[in-house]
Amino acid sequence: MSLFSLDDSPLATLEADVLVVGVVPAESGAALAEGHGLPEQAAAHLTAVLPSLGATGKVDDVHTVPLVPGIAATKVVLTGLAPALGKDQSVTEFGIRAGAGAALRQIGAAGRVVVALPARETSWVGAAALGAHLGSYAFTAFKSDRETAKGGGKDAASKPGPAGRRVTTLVVHVDDADAPAKASIARAEVVAEATAWVRDLVNTPPNVLYPESFVDAVRDQIKSNHVKLDVAVHDHKALAEMGCGGIVGVGQGSSRGPRIMELHHRPRHAAAHVAYVGKGITFDTGGLCLKPSAAMLGMKSDMAGAAAVAAAVIAAARLKLPVAVSGYLCLAENMPSSTAQRPSDVVTMRNGTTVEIIDTDAEGRMVLGDGLCLAVESGADAILDIATLTGACIIALGPRVAGVMSNDEDVNTRVFAAANAAGEAMWPLPLPEDLRPKLDSQVADLQHKGDLWGGTLTAGLFLREFVARSEGDPVPWAHLDIAGPSFNETAPYGSTPKGGTGFGMATLLAFAEQAGGHR
């Protein structure tokens, strides 16, 4: 069953519990956005009440007006479409998405909602649908209902639930429900479901989501989406035999062994081959270098990179992209125990590089290193890794912007083109050669961490060591540090909820689409 439907009937006749209409900044405070499609009587009424509402027309400024004359909808929700900050107040595709998301967040639970926002470009239709769906997202898998005993039923923590949505029916109003509009909606449906699933995985508690159950959740998602992917799963024993000492070392402190799960979308006559490697630390205590308790609370989200990779590969298969897309999910639990990895241990990575462990809380780069080696061996034309890697990146760029490091100018350009298409904020960071000596070790080929300064950059330099082919030539590669934007610890905004955000999936998908000549 489709998430959305299109309707090009006159707005006056559309029955709905809620009609969402856009507003923009004006001299008087706010005005209805051009092309609203409202009948004259309804438009006049809303224009008259806007000043008394104190509306600004900016994203996250939302107001409800009941019983508007001239329309069949029970109430109208007015949502701002202009950026909240900056001098440029023009409406964009991403203002449409954020405005729709903010409206649906305020609406909460509802039956039928009609979203009637400007659609100057065909892609804006999909943006309105995507924002509305993500704004209505709710993670309810572990909420007990009124008839369930306090604390949940006996099966409350058995497995992650499906993506929740607080609205029963979402209708996007358009001037013409033609083929391009339908195509935009169809793509939005794939992106919305994939993003919501990433949020579900990130929000799932770590006693439920661990390496083995993560693999099961991905298998279930592949099956429910009826896509054909080549899948391989390497358990702890297999990883040791494969020489993947990085991920084996990280996972050896847990009773739940590590996994690397490979997903491959392999269309015939593929135009290109891209590979994604995702950090999947299902819970990060820091290992023997134990985190403070307050810093540990959000560490169920340390697998957001792997979740984004899994969702992007499945979405690529759903969209039947003519490009080969491989995903490597590097799954482990970083726990302290008598078998846990120690600072000063030396491990051997998949490519034969020996690495001295400096800090067991810098585990993400170790699991990614092995995953990157496997991605190189796949023969991919370009490799992206994505990870909640360093707190230093949050200090540098804040909680809403990802950092990007790359060894290839073309791939770097393509990553930012994909991020712009996806509406995800990213910023370029360097790989300074003068910092590389910080990774020199007295006892091994490398140590996996430098000192305090430039921690995000030395992490990128470490990962760069694992993207060379056997003959020494580097594979075009970029590293996406999503430590900040993958998990929202503050108030929701736009179409972004508190908790897991799903950040990064849309950029990975857009990168694959561009490699195949789409988007």
pLDDT tens digits along 444-499: 999 999 998 999 999 999 999 999 998 889 999 999 999 999 999 999 999 999 99
Q: What CATH number does the domain located at 4-191 have?
A: 3.40.220.10
454 vs 114, 178, 395, CA distance in Å?
Answer: 48, 51, 11
Q: Where in the chain is the domain with CATH 3.40.630.10?
A: 213-515
The CATH fold of domain 213-515: Aminopeptidase (3.40.630)
Distance CA 466, CA 369 (A): 6
pTM above 0.85, yes or no: yes
| Crossing angle for the helix pair 179-203 and 122-135, to the nearest 10 degrees | 30
| Crossing angle for the helix pair 304-318 and 179-203, to the nearest 10 degrees | 150
The DSSP code for 70 is T
Predicted pLDDT at 154: 34
Predicted pLDDT at 1: 55
Predicted pLDDT at 519: 59
Predicted pLDDT at 164: 63
Residues of the chain falling short of pLDDT 50: 146-163
Predicted pLDDT at 88: 74
H helix intervals, 252-363: 293-296, 304-318
- Asked if 381 and 459 count as a contact pair (C-beta separation under 8 A), the reply is no
Would you call 291 a catalytic residue per the annotation?
yes
Would you call 342 a catalytic residue per the annotation?
no
Rounded (5°) CA angle 254-259-261: 160
- Lookup result for tokens 């069949």: 72
Q: Where in the chain is the domain with CATH 3.40.220.10?
A: 4-191
Helix (H) / strand (E) containing 250:
helix 245-251
The DSSP code for 11 is G
- Single out the catalytic residue among 165, 365, 414, 464: 365
Can you say whether the dihedral through the CA atoms of 39, 42, 46, 49 is positive or negative?
positive
Predicted pLDDT at 127: 97
- Single out the catalytic residue among 166, 182, 266, 291: 291
Tell which residue, 475, 424, 453, 502, has the closest CA to residue 134. Answer: 502
